Amino acid sequence: MISLHVNGKVYPVDVSKDTPLLWVLRDTLNLKGTKYSCGIGECGSCTVHINGKAMRSCTISVGEVQGKKITTIEGLPENHPVKKAWIKEQVVQCGYCQPGVIMQVSALISQKPALNADQVIAKMDDVICRCGTYPRIKKGIKTAIEMTKKEVKKS
């Protein structure tokens, strides 16, 4: 039995240790927001946070992440600046890659010391969007960073 810490909850899962985290999230825990697309860590559709860092869940086995803090798209709050910015800038088309893209961006913009928009954009080649929403992802990143700054000021 493996114990997984996902989105603030602890789940005991009965799978073999070498199972990719992606399939345990999707098919065992029924968290379908994390997507399969390449299975080799090339496209970023399966990106989740492991201890706050963006990682590809298709190439990490569940055995490797026992006891670590895992966050998926479902665990990112609805009012998270990246989610809000994605709606404001109408980033999404088919949307299949976007949970992974959003997880990639949200990890990058919470880095300390803070990255500026260009620095975040420079790290976005980890993800592929086939609909070609890249121009709007760039806009979304800028808006999310502005929203984050405003929130910090308010608090």
Partner 1 sequence: MTTSISRRTFLKVTGLTIAVSVTPSGFILMNASAQKAGSFKPNVWFEITPDNKITITLGIAEMGQGSSTGLPMIIADELEADWKQVRIQQGPASPAFKNPVFDDQITVGSASVRGFYEPLRKAGASGRAMLIKAAAQTWKVPEDECKASMSTVKHVKSGRTLTYGQLCLKAAKLEIPKDPPLKKESEFKYIGKPMPRVDIPEKVAGKAVYGLDVNVPDMLYAVIARPPAYGAKPVSYDQKAAEGVKGVRTTFPTPQGIFVCAESLDAAWKGREALKVKWDQGTHPDMNTNSIEKHFMEGLDKPGGIAKNVGDVKKALSGASKKVEATYFLPFVAHATMEPMNCTAHVQKDRCDIWAPTQAQILAQIFASQVSGLPMDKIDIHTTYLGCGLGRRGSFPDFIIEPVIASKAVGKPVKVVWSREEDIKYDFYRAATCQRIEAGLDSQGRVVGWSHKVACSSILKFLNPEWIQNGIDFFSLWGIVDAPMPPVYSHTVYEFPNFYVEQYLSDLPIPVCPWRSVQNAPNAFVMECFMDEVAHAAGKDPVEFRMHLLNNNMRARRVLQTAAEKAGWGKPLPKGKGRGIAQHACFGSYVAQVADVSVNEKDGSVKVDRIVAAIDCGTAVNPDSVVAQIEGSVVEGLSTTLKEQVEFANGGVKSANFDDYKIIRMSEIPPIEVHIVKSNEKIGGVGEPGVTPTAPAVANAFFNATGVRIRRIPLTPKIVMDALKKA
Residues that bind partner 1 (CB under 8 A): 15-16, 19-20, 23, 26-27, 30, 32-40, 42-43, 45, 72-74, 78, 83, 86-87, 90-99, 102, 121-122, 124-125, 127-138
C-alpha dihedral (49, 56, 125, 102), degrees to nearest 10: -40
**What does the buried/exposed string (b/e) look like for 120-141 if buried means 16 or more CB atoms within 10 Å of the residue's CB?**
bbeebebbebeeebeebbbbbb
CB of 30 to partner 1, least distance (A): 7
> Minimum CB separation from partner 1 for residue 25, in Å?
11
Please, what is the minimum distance in Å from the beta carbon of residue 92 to partner 1? 5
Choice between 132 and 153, CB closer to partner 1: 132
Alpha-carbon distances of 125 from 11, 62, 63, 99, rounded to whole Å: 32, 25, 27, 15
User: In this complex, which beta carbon is closest to partner 1, that of residue 11 or of residue 155?
Assistant: 11
How far apart CA 98 and CA 132 sit, in angstroms, is 11
Between residues 125 and 154, which has the closer beta carbon with respect to partner 1? Answer: 125
- Please give the backbone phi and psi of residue 21, each rounded to the nearest 5 degrees, phi first: -50, -40
Kindly state the tokens that stand for 127: 């993800």
Q: How far is the CB of 7 from partner 1 (least distance, A)?
A: 11
CB closer to partner 1 out of 78 and 155: 78
